[in-house]
Amino acid sequence: MSSTEQGTSSAAPAEPTTAPESAAAPEVPESFYYVHGKDKVVHKVSAGALQHSALIHGMISNLGYTEEQAKANPFPFENIDGDILQMVVDWCNQHKGKPTPPEDTNLPKQKEKLFDLVLAVNYLEIKELLTYCCKQVAMMVKGKSPEEIREIWMIPTDAEDEAAEKEAKKRAGKEAAGETAAAAGDAK
């Protein structure tokens, strides 16, 4: 069952704000779904807004999730922080049924939040928002020299990478030696 079919068959009352009084034709009541993040705070999102997320849209359309079921069991996204999920939900609501503009200036300025947002958006498969986020990260290094790019994105040099790899190998070797020694001790 598709999400639009659910919308027509559900007995959920229409939101008073969504139905304009002047409209002559009776409007189809919009269906709502519920999602929660790591903080377990449930967010109510309309089916139209959720269309942006290929993951959730696929879950609704493929699993035949009805609105009642959705209300009782909100979609759990345990790997997404509550405030990040809120941000994503707000963005989806803002751009519901609208063509996405070429640029979005409302993305978070804090690095940690931007990082979490990129991961969350990638997980939820929201293509447009992911493009905005990637653009914001890419613009940081546009027109910069290799040294500056390395500095901005903290890219380790090949020498640093090799040193880190060697250290990791050494550590793994030591751990393995320790484990074999412990196993031999147990056997004795």
Partner 1 sequence: MFKRFRNFLRRVFRKNVIKEVDSVLYSPPKSQNLQFFEYYTRLPVELQCEIVKILDFLSKHCLRQCSKQALEIVDSLHIHIPIVKILVSNILEVTICEGAGQISTISVAKDSEKNVIVTRSTKISKSITGKIESSQVSFEIISESIFKSLTKKNVTVGKLVVEFQNHMPIILGLIIKYFKRTKIITNCQTTYAKYEYSISLDSSHILDCSALRSRNSKVLMFVVAPGHPYVPGRSFLLKTIRPVYLTDTISEFLLRITGRNYSNKFWFPNFKVTDQELAHILGKFPVQVFRNGKIQTLLIPLETSEKRLLMRISKCGVVLEKLNPEQLGNIDESEECGLEWMCRNCDKSEESWFYIMDLEKKIGKINQ
The yes or no reply on residue 107 touching partner 1 (CB under 8 A) is: no
What is the closest distance, in whole angstroms, from the C-beta atom of residue 103 to partner 1 in the complex? 12
Q: Judged by CB under 8 A, how many residues of this single chain contact partner 1?
A: 32
- As a whole number of angstroms, the distance between CA 151 and CA 125 comes to 30
- Beta carbons of 113 and 84 less than 8 angstroms apart: yes
Using alpha carbons, list the distances in angstroms from residue 180 to 107, 136, 186. 51, 49, 10
Which is nearer to partner 1, 44 or 150 (by Cβ)? 150
The yes or no reply on residue 39 touching partner 1 (CB under 8 A) is: no
Which is nearer to partner 1, 16 or 143 (by Cβ)? 143
The yes or no reply on residue 101 touching partner 1 (CB under 8 A) is: no
Question: Which structure tokens are listed for 177?
Answer: 């030696």
The yes or no reply on residue 102 touching partner 1 (CB under 8 A) is: no
- As a whole number of angstroms, the distance between CA 127 and CA 52 comes to 8
Q: Which of 42, 134, 172, 176 binds partner 1 (CB under 8 A)?
A: 134
Which is nearer to partner 1, 1 or 155 (by Cβ)? 155
Mark the segment that binds partner 1 (CB under 8 A) among 47-55, 60-68, 110-118, 173-181: 110-118
- As a whole number of angstroms, the distance between CA 5 and CA 183 comes to 62
What is the closest distance, in whole angstroms, from the C-beta atom of residue 31 to partner 1 in the complex? 32
Q: C-alpha dihedral over 47, 51, 57, 61, to 10 degrees? A: 60
- Beta carbons of 67 and 44 less than 8 angstroms apart: no
Residues in contact with partner 1, shown as a per-residue x/- string from 141 to 170 under the rule CB under 8 A: xxxxxx-xxxxxxxxxxx--x---------
By the 10 Å C-beta count (0-12 exposed, 13-18 middle, 19+ buried), 113 is classed as: middle
What is the closest distance, in whole angstroms, from the C-beta atom of residue 184 to partner 1 in the complex? 38
Q: Which of 27, 28, 94, 111 binds partner 1 (CB under 8 A)?
A: 111
Question: Which structure tokens are listed for 117?
Answer: 């947002």
Question: Which structure tokens are listed for 12?
Answer: 């959920």
Interacting residues toward partner 1 by CB under 8 A: 111-112, 114-115, 118-119, 122, 130-131, 134-135, 137-138, 140-146, 148-158, 161
